[in-house]
Amino acid sequence: MHTNRLAREKSPYLLQHAHNPVDWFAWNEEAFARARAEDKPIFLSIGYSTCHWCHVMERESFEQAAVAAVLNEQFVSIKVDREERPDVDKIYMSFVQSTTGSGGWPLSVFLTPDLKPFFGGTYFPPKARHDRPGFVELLEHLGRLWRERRGELVDSASEMLARLEAGLMGAPVPGAAPDGETLRRAGALFKGGYDARHGGFGGAPKFPQPSIPAFLLRYAKRFDDPEAAAMVLHTCEAMAAGGIHDQLGGGFARYAVDEVWLVPHFEKMLYDNAQLAQLYLDAYLVSQSGADRSVPQCHADTVRDILDYVLRDMTHAGGGFFSAEDADSEGQEGKFYCWTHAELSRLLTAEEFNVAAKHFGITLDGNFVDHSHPQPLAGLNVLSLEDPDVPAPDVPLLASARQKMVSARAERIRPHLDDKILASWNGLMLGALARASAVLSEDRYRAAAEKNLSFLRKELWVGAGNPSPAGGREGGTLFHRWRDGERDSVQLLEAYAFLLSGVLELYEATLELGHLDFAVELAEAMLATFYDAENGGFWQSAAGADVILRVKDDYDGAEPSGNSVAVLSLLKLGALTGRAEFKAAAEKTLELFADRLHRFPQALPFLLQAVDFQLEEPRRVVLAGTAGESAGLLRAAHAVYQPNKIVLGTAGAVDGFARTLTAPEGATAYLCAGTVCRPPTRSAAELKAMLSEP
């Protein structure tokens, strides 16, 4: 069996390609030096281990000796895991999107030896089809151009890089600042894309993109718009009932290929499930004011379903969270998750089958076909809640059927698990668990969050005050990836920002002083490493990173951008601690992106949440007294949908005013705005009532 350099790597994606006949390099100086020494262009292939079309291109091209021969002779080939290096991916994805109008993975880009892109695309088939050139044909054409018209390619690459740099390096518009009208316009835009029949915003394929519905709930509260809230709640109900939601094992797939949320692209990503847990917590709190008391409980059950899936199937023994599960099993997309009519009829009794088939929408023909496979399996059914209302006599039959189906599925070959642990995505899940522990009064979620943070601090954080290689002392450093006992050497904004967000959620859920202290350390390190003090905004990479450009990510897609999360986190931390420099950096970053928010608000829905927080003094729930005495008040503080609030204690790194508040007669809650407070209360019910007032 052939083995290439990728066998030395830790990335599951790179290891998947370790036995290709292609002479792959990882993204490093060794590869760049080879390209310069041999004067060859670089073929850069970017993907991730649970990417379905990455598997297809590997099978069709990278495993083929004839393709490898062309690559090895005419190019230096580099593999990058986009989840480990989103900074590299951002640069070259932006190039491909600007030159072709679309993007995706696998990302296939051709570079000069000094890393300037001159041609790119996504998936290329082995032979020309569907208006895409064949991969070998493309390689030979570009190789010939490099030999015969190199000067033109190099000049073109330099010109395109200059345009790319100009597009990625915005400067603030003097005097611009996002305001309430920015939010109003954005809310109207998102509402205009609402699918009233099936829920969601936009057409097929449908991504949950939780930043949009989360913003609309804030919008609904700020502008007293119950219609916007109803759109979000309908969307949450539709997604939870659809095939995008794993009805047996829990968690959500990355997106639905259709408009009805039925047929998913089956891969499950940690970042999606973390954000969806937060969204369903919002939906739970918002819907509690409705007449149907079963609805909020359904949203709470969806939160538990997501988090229990992660804790069962996506958690390292030490407490870290794995990155993703694949769409494919045994080379077939969806095989692990789907059921045929015949298979279920053999597994279940006739009575169980009749109930389960009606409930889950099982048909003889099935509802899913893997069109990417040359020999797709027939009659596959994705489970959805086709008939969610089960008559009382049938409930035990459905429960029995579900248990048999869960047990039978557990015997199947599971999809590939990407078991790398990323500080960024772990920060998102840490925050979801922490908040769920407070909102749902679930101590096991708090325990999981505490364990996760301990793991991250042990394996990926080097604290302030450690000796630096150059002598003296240096601030704290957060690395991005840990796997198989080793961490990487990469620093990324999203690692710092997402973890900061999660640690703040954990502090507000527990009021443990050490968590707020660590949040301050993280924020200080993030500002020192990534903040552009001159223009505002945060660079995606640390200075000296091995990238051709330092860019400021300005797009909230399936994941929020590091800038958006950094801004909201710094605004919260500034309010908690009274540290003016945190708030100032956040506000200057909002000024940098104000023009983009005005012209293209759909690009930054998470940042719009930060704008909403920034527009007024946040409500401050200050709890005085011991932790044990304050437990009921702490739960009450989190039991009302009030997104622009902070929850803090009276000790540690909190601001000076909070430290003046006391509890002479036992645990006491103060509801304040700035230094103006309502009369204190010791009643959880009264605190909830005060928080519920406009």
The structure tokens 């609402």 sit at 194
Q: What is the pLDDT of residues 83-123, one digit of tens each?
A: 999 999 999 999 999 999 989 999 999 999 999 999 999 99
What is the pLDDT at residue 469?
Answer: 38
Q: What three-state secondary structure class fits 291?
A: coil
DSSP 41-73: -EEEEEE-TT-HHHHHHIIIIIT-HHHHHHHHH
Residue 621: strand pairing partners: 647, 671
What is the pLDDT at residue 435?
Answer: 98
The structure tokens 């958006």 sit at 564
What is the pLDDT at residue 664?
Answer: 86
Tokens describing residue 506: 């954990």
Name residue 405's amino acid: M
Q: Rounded to an integer, what distance in angstroms lies between the CA atom of residue 43 and that of residue 27?
A: 11
Q: Rounded to an integer, what distance in angstroms lies between the CA atom of residue 490 and that of residue 476?
A: 14
pTM score of the predicted model: 0.95
Q: What is the pLDDT of residues 590-633, one digit of tens each?
A: 999 999 999 999 999 999 999 999 999 999 999 999 878 889 99
What is the pLDDT at residue 471?
Answer: 35
How many C-beta atoms lie closer than 10 Å to residue 149's C-beta? 11
Residues 625, 658 contacting (CB under 8 angstroms): no
Residues 650, 627 contacting (CB under 8 angstroms): no
Class of domain 5-168: alpha beta
Q: Rounded to an integer, what distance in angstroms lies between the CA atom of residue 54 and that of residue 48?
A: 7
What is the pLDDT at residue 472?
Answer: 32
What is the pLDDT at residue 290?
Answer: 63
State what percent of residues in the chain have pLDDT above 90. 88
Q: What three-state secondary structure class fits 463?
A: coil
Q: What is the pLDDT of residues 495-547, one digit of tens each?
A: 999 999 999 999 999 999 999 999 999 999 999 999 999 999 999 999 999 99
Tokens describing residue 374: 């040359």
| 557 Cβ neighbours under 8 A, 6+ residues apart | 209
What is the pLDDT at residue 467?
Answer: 43
Regions in the chain scoring below 50 on pLDDT: 466-473
Name the residue ranges covered by the structural domains of the chain.
5-168, 180-308+322-416, 617-694
Q: How many CA atoms lie within 13 A of 59 on its CB side?
A: 11
What is the pLDDT at residue 372?
Answer: 74
Helices (H), 288-411: 294-313, 341-347, 350-360, 395-410
Alpha-carbon distance values, 37 to 32, 255, 338 (Å): 9, 43, 51
